[in-house]
Amino acid sequence: MFQNIKNVNYLNLIKHDFSLELFIHSNNVASIAIKMADEMELSVREKEMLYEEALYHDIGKSKIPETILYKNCRLSPDEWGIMKQHSIYSQELYLSVAANNDNSIEKAKIIRYHHENWDGTGYPDKIAGEDIPLHSRIIRIADIFDAITQRRIYRTYCIDNPLKLMEEMEGKAIDSYIFRKNYYLFKRLLANQ
């Protein structure tokens, strides 16, 4: 269903000096977000938007120095400050390749908010609860699921119980309602890994 969108967007992603790891991560997050949208019975139009937003959510990381992006120990406060800029860069880069209309501005905002936490402790704007758009809250969860279930350059160990870890984030980093709606989806995805 999303084949055309995929082809166009992949070309745009490649134009932006994107590492293979980020490319795979973006694709994974988009695919998980669409599965979540299916569970939540979102409309086809919503799913098309969500797919594109998820695919672009980390495009701003192409502007972050690799020494920070792939540092395998704790980031200094200054480095962390630079890292946190990526969601704003993602918003800007998405707008630079998207059609110039209200719909793109809306999608760019969803991208900007993908690290906002349900309890207001996220970034860049520290918005909370339902002030965070639904799609951003879905991408937040899909992003965390991919981050803790895939092997990363900076994390070579496996997390034993990803669902338990996510349960601990309920009401803090993630929206508990969306997480519970998709709990069995995540169980199925883990069983198939």
53 touches Fe ion (CB under 5 A): no
61 tagged catalytic:
yes
58 touches Fe ion (CB under 5 A): yes
In the bound complex, what is the minimum distance in angstroms from residue 5's beta carbon to Fe ion? 19
* 152 φ, ψ (degrees, to nearest 5): -115, 160
**Cβ atoms of residues 55 and 26 within 8 Å:** yes
Q: Bridge-partner residues for 152, per DSSP?
A: 155
**Among the candidate windows 54-62, 73-81, 123-131, 132-140, which touches Fe ion by CB under 5 A?**
54-62
Residue 120, CA atoms < 13 Å, CB-side half-sphere: 4
Catalytic residue among 6, 61, 71, 84: 61
d(C-alpha 37, C-alpha 33), whole Å: 6
Residue with smaller CB distance to Fe ion, 49 or 144: 144
143 touches Fe ion (CB under 5 A): yes
- The SS3 assignment for 101 reads coil
In the bound complex, what is the minimum distance in angstroms from residue 16's beta carbon to Fe ion? 14
DSSP state of 64: S
**Cβ atoms of residues 139 and 53 within 8 Å:** yes
Residue with smaller CB distance to Fe ion, 52 or 58: 58
**Among the candidate windows 43-51, 62-70, 76-84, 140-148, which touches Fe ion by CB under 5 A?**
140-148
In the bound complex, what is the minimum distance in angstroms from residue 26's beta carbon to Fe ion? 7
Count of residues that bind Fe ion according to CB under 5 A: 2
Residue with smaller CB distance to Fe ion, 53 or 58: 58
d(C-alpha 32, C-alpha 38), whole Å: 10
In the bound complex, what is the minimum distance in angstroms from residue 42's beta carbon to Fe ion? 20
In terms of phi and psi (left: phi > 0; alpha: psi -120 to 50; beta: otherwise), the region of 109 is alpha
**Mind telling me the catalytic residues?**
61
What residues line the site for Fe ion (CB under 5 A)?
58, 143
